[in-house]
Structures are given as C-alpha cells and as structure tokens.
Amino acid sequence: MSARAWSAPPLIASPRLRYALYAGTLIYLVLAIGTLEVNWARLAEGLQRGAKFVYAFFNPNFGSRWEEILQGMQESLTMTLTATVVGIMISVPVGLGAARNIAPLWIYYPCRALVAVSRSLQEVIIAILFVVMVGFGPFAGFLTISFATIGFLAKLLAEDIESIDPGQVEAIRATGASWSQLVNYGVQPQVMPRLIGLCLYRLDINFRESAVIGIVGAGGIGATLNTAMDRYEYDVAAAIMLIIIVIVMVSEYSSGFVRKWVQ
Amino acid sequence: MPVDSRSGTRIWRRRTSRAQLGLWFGWLLLVALFVFCWRVMTEDTLWPFVLDAPRQAGDVLSRAVPPKWSYIDVLWRPLWDTLNIATLGTLLAIVAAVPVGFLAARNTTPSTRFVRPLALLVIVSSRSINALIWALLLVAILGPGLLAGIIAIALRSIGFIAKLLYEAIEEIDAKQVEAITATGAPASTVVAYGIVPQIMPAFAGISVFRWDINIRESTILGLVGAGGIGLQLDASLNTLAWPQVSLILLLIFATVVLSEWVSARVRHAII
C-alpha cells in the first residue's frame, strides 16, 4: 500500500468554486494593477519628501502654530462633546422606536429608515452638504457628527432592546404599569450598562471624525491640519497628528476603564 | 433595599438618597459641561446663515434635480479606480496586518515585554488616523493619484485588521495547539495546522468587512487628490455643477449598498 499523505481540508470545500475564485482573483489583479498609473519619477521625488516627513515626525513642531492648533483642538473637542450629547438625545427615542418589541409598526418603519439613511452616508459627504447649508465652521461639523451618531447608536440600542429578557418586561406590565413606566423599569435597567458603553465608544469615534471633517470646511483640528499640509509645514502636521493619536489613546483607555466600572 | 419612610408608610426607592444625590450631581456636571462647550463652539457661528439653511437646502435640491444622467459615461473609469483603491488597499493591509496581528497576540508574540507593545503601538497609530488624513499626507509626499489612495486605505486598515485578528488569535482553543506541538512539530507547522485553521473564518470575515468599509472610504479620498470618484465629486462641487453632484452621490450610494450586500453575503457564507 502506498503511503497516503494527509493534507488539511481547504477553507472552500467545493474545488470548482475554489479554482474559479483563484482565477477570478488573478484576472482582477492583472486588470487592476494594469490600469494603475504610477508616475515613477514623481514617486522617486516623493521618497525624499517622505524621508523629510519621517524626520518631521521625530521632531514635531508644537511651538510656531500653537495658537492655531489650540483653536482647532478647542473646536474639535467642543464639537465632539456637544454633538455626542445631542446625538444621544435623538438616538434614544429613535432607538426605542426602531425596536420591534416595544414600538408599533407605524413608528418602527420611519425610525428604521432614518437609521438606514444615516448609516449609509459617509460622514465627509454629510459634512459637505451641511457646509453648503449652514456655512463654514464648527456648527456644520456639529450637525454632521450628531447625524452620524444617530445611525450608529439608534441601531445598536434597538438591537439591544430587541434582545432583552422579556420576563422582566412581563413582570412590570403585570403590575399595571404604563408604557413609560414599562420602559423606565423593565427595559432601561437591562440596556443601560451597554448603552453607556456604546455612548463612550461613540464619543471616541466622534473625536476621530471631528479631526477629518475639517478638511471639507466643517471646523476642528482637521482644518488646521489641512492648512499645515498646504503650507508644507510637515513638522506642524506631525505635531497635530501626534496630538490626535495621544488624545485617541487616552480616550480609548479611559472609556475602556469607565465601561469596565459600569458593567 | 433603600426604603423611604414617610408618615409611617414605607415606600420603595431604587436608590439611596446618597446615590440619588451623586447621580444628580453627575448630571448637573454633564449639563454644565455641555452648555459651556456649546457656548465655546458657537462663538463664531453666524446665526443668519444657520437660520437660512432650509432655504439653502431647498435651493441646492432644486438645482440638483434631475441628475445629469449623461455624465455617467465619464464616471465609469473613476468608479473602477475607486473599487481598485479599496480592493488593492485592503489586500496590502492584509499582507501587512497578519504579522502585526501575530506579534500583538499574547499567545503567539515572541516577547510580551518588547515586541507586543510595539505591535500595539502600530495598531493604535494606524487606527487613530483616518484614511482621509493619511491620504492628505500621502498626496503631499507621493503626489496625487491612485497610489496615494491605495496606501492611505492600507495604512488605516492595518490597525483595524490586526486588532480584530489578534483578538481572534487570543481566543483560540489552546488544546489544538498543544496537540500539534505534542507531535513534535516545528513552530511553523504549529501555526499552520494549530492556529491558522481556527482563525481562518474570523480572518476572512474581518477582511471582507474591512473591504466593505474601504469602499465607503475610498469614494471620498479624491477630495484631497488621491484618485477615484471623489476627484469628480470635488471638481463638480467646485464648479457648483449640482446635477453632476447628485448623480455622483447616487452612484456612490448604489456602490456602497451593493458592497454592503456582497460583504453580508460572503460573511454569511463563511460563518
């Protein structure tokens, strides 16, 4: 008997599908890389600039534009906080409305539609539209982030409510409680710890977003960063990026800490 | 159980008075912070502009409808570029994220003291900078074009994929690894037969999920010059060609919905 070597079963069981996928991937790669136009001369020049940028990263310049960085940071932080609070205030009723087990159908569908619209639009595109409507500045950013928060928070809250323990709601209902008492004593205690966690997580995301939408004119540190790049002040840009990274790290760490404490 | 006794009758309360007071104080602080931030933020806001917003929105909408359908012939190539940015960027990120993920996972890293923090730093830096900011940077360094977009998407995705991957690696069943090790297999075989089959479904799911997010992100990279359909969007916005803008937005919307559907189908098939 010849020795038969064992080989691990592949991830995709059907050989026909597997080879079709391999072939498709190969054809796609050839096509995609074929249509990729790369200007090698410009790239070679770019490497030098890249080196300059890496150098700038190790020698960030906080000093010369400190006023502008401070202003941008202040806009970003205030925008993030107000937008998160307003976003949460709108998301909670929308989330209640989008939960199938406590909302009637005629409320359910509009709420779900709002969530779907908010989730499928990119923040930057929303920001562009709001800048057109209310003009440049952090107010447009505030509207953008509030709107984006609704899609995220209301969806997760609705899913949470849909998966709660119905026994507790039943028990509250059996005492003859009204709808608001039902939500307050039957639903809220079950979803609250996770909701607080989600809100903190969203605060995190919103800060990151606030750093981006400034590029299209919606205020915040992104605008400062954009200006620094336009002036080829790599050391200032590096300083701003380092500040963003540090703030994100601090907020991620502290929100993780608070979430552990809440749950 | 906190109980309030008022004129002889005992009334149930959810919290003790002290906890209640603390809670109210916390809310007060939050409201004060909100009001303060609101005042600071709206210092320079021009309220007439804000009040004018509904009229502006109506005005733009009336200009944007109907979309200029004939413009779509110009858009196929940028759309193809956009898909390429997302796909090639994701592939590049996968290649780079796998080693980072293995170095960051507690059970596979060669050294928890030196290598793991370094890998975690890579992950955090990549995650905290948005693709658009990476693109802004890379366009300045490499010049405008698709390559800047691809690398921007890759840089942002490395952290995302590596983070989810290392969490998946840390959750594997140690017994399978032990069994392979017990046969006297070298480290590479242990990884290939003990770890990889366990994380493969999660890994494929993560990659497809990120690809879906990247399609969304790559549509706007053109705003800073990194190629794709965003370039056309930027050009149309700058010339106030609203019928073109509305067509581009519709196309982006359709692409995003389609990619979300594909990713959901693939993830459903895997898991």
Q: What is the pLDDT of residues A179-213, one digit of tens each?
A: 888 888 888 888 888 888 889 889 888 988 888 88
Closest residue by Cα to residue B134 from B119, B118, B149: B149
Distance CA A245, CA B169 (A): 25
Q: Does A7 touch chain B (CB under 8 A)?
A: no
The secondary structure element, H or E, covering residue B15 is none
Distance CA B88, CA A36 (A): 10
State the pLDDT at residue B1: 61
Token representation of residue A11: 């991830």
Alpha helices by DSSP H, chain B = 17-41, 47-51, 53-64, 72-104, 115-128, 131-142, 146-170, 174-182, 187-189, 196-218, 229-238, 242-270
State the pLDDT at residue A88: 94
* Range 61-100 of B in CB contact (< 8 A) with A: 80-81, 84, 87-88
Q: Residue B224 phi/psi, 5° resolution? A: -105, 10
pLDDT tens for A21-56 read 889 989 988 888 888 777 777 778 888 888 888 888
Q: Residue B4 phi/psi, 5° resolution? A: -105, 130
For range A219-228, the mean pLDDT: 87
Q: Does A235 touch chain B (CB under 8 A)?
A: no
For range A136-164, the mean pLDDT: 91
**CA B253 remoteness from chain centre:** 17
pLDDT tens for A74-128 read 889 999 999 999 999 999 999 999 988 888 889 999 999 898 888 878 888 899 8
Helix (H, G, I), strand (E, B) or coil at B12: strand
CA angle at residue A250 from B217 to B202, to 5 degrees? 50
B5 bridge partner residues: B10
Q: Do A82 and B38 touch (CB under 8 A)?
A: yes
B4 bridge partner residues: B11
Whether the complex's predicted ipTM is more than 0.85 is answered with no
* Range 122-151 of A in CB contact (< 8 A) with B: 122, 124-125, 128, 132-135, 137-139, 142
Q: How many CB pairs under 8 A join A and B?
A: 140
Closest residue by Cα to residue A208 from A126, A160, A145: A145
B11 bridge partner residues: B4
B71 CA to chain A: closest CA distance, Å?
20
The secondary structure element, H or E, covering residue A158 is helix A138-162
State the pLDDT at residue A211: 86
Percentage of residues in chain A having pLDDT higher than 90: 19
State the pLDDT at residue A2: 60
Q: Do B57 and A133 touch (CB under 8 A)?
A: yes
Q: Do A225 and B133 touch (CB under 8 A)?
A: yes
Question: Contact, B122 vs B158, CB < 8 A?
Answer: yes
B146 CA to chain A: closest CA distance, Å?
7
State the pLDDT at residue A85: 94
What is the CB neighbour count within 10 angstroms for residue A90?
Answer: 16
Q: Any residues with CB less than 8 A from the CB of B2 and at least 6 apart, and which?
A: B12, B13, B14, B15, B16, B17, B19
Distance CA A159, CA A142 (A): 26
Question: Contact, A68 vs A127, CB < 8 A?
Answer: no
Q: Any residues with CB less than 8 A from the CB of B167 and at least 6 apart, and which?
A: none
Q: Residue B12 phi/psi, 5° resolution? A: -70, 140
Q: Which of B33, B49, B125 sits opposite A134 (nearest CB)?
A: B49
**pTM (two decimals):** 0.83
Helix (H, G, I), strand (E, B) or coil at A122: coil
State the pLDDT at residue A46: 80
Report the residue of chain A nearest B35, measured CA to CA.
A82
The secondary structure element, H or E, covering residue B11 is strand B9-12
Token representation of residue A16: 């026909």
**CA A46 remoteness from chain centre:** 31
Q: Considering Cα of A126, then A131, then A132, then A133, what sign does the dihedral take?
A: positive
Report the residue of chain B nearest A117, measured CA to CA.
B253
**CA A229 remoteness from chain centre:** 24
Amino acid (1-letter code) at residue A141: G
Q: Any residues with CB less than 8 A from the CB of A160 and at least 6 apart, and which?
A: A191, A194, A195
What is the CB neighbour count within 10 angstroms for residue A141?
Answer: 35
Measured in residues, chain B has a length of 271
Q: Do A39 and B37 touch (CB under 8 A)?
A: no
pLDDT of chain B, 271 residues: tens digit per residue: 677 777 777 777 777 888 888 889 999 999 999 999 888 888 877 788 788 888 888 888 888 888 888 888 888 889 999 999 999 999 999 999 999 999 998 888 888 888 999 999 899 888 888 888 889 888 888 888 888 899 999 999 999 999 999 999 988 988 999 999 999 989 888 988 889 888 988 898 899 989 989 998 899 898 888 888 888 888 898 888 888 989 998 898 888 889 888 888 888 887 6
B59 CA to chain A: closest CA distance, Å?
10
B68-77 LR contacts (CB < 8 Å, sep 24+): B68/B241, B68/B243, B68/B244, B68/B247, B69/B247, B71/B243, B71/B244, B71/B247, B72/B247, B72/B251, B74/B232, B75/B229, B75/B232, B75/B247, B75/B248, B75/B251
Is it the case that residue A259 has pLDDT exceeding 80?
no
Provide the b/e sequence for A53-79 (b: ≥16 CB within 10 Å).
beebeeebbeeebeebbebbbbbbbbb
B53 CA to chain A: closest CA distance, Å?
5
Distance CA A176, CA A48 (A): 74
Q: Do A120 and B256 touch (CB under 8 A)?
A: yes
State the pLDDT at residue B95: 94
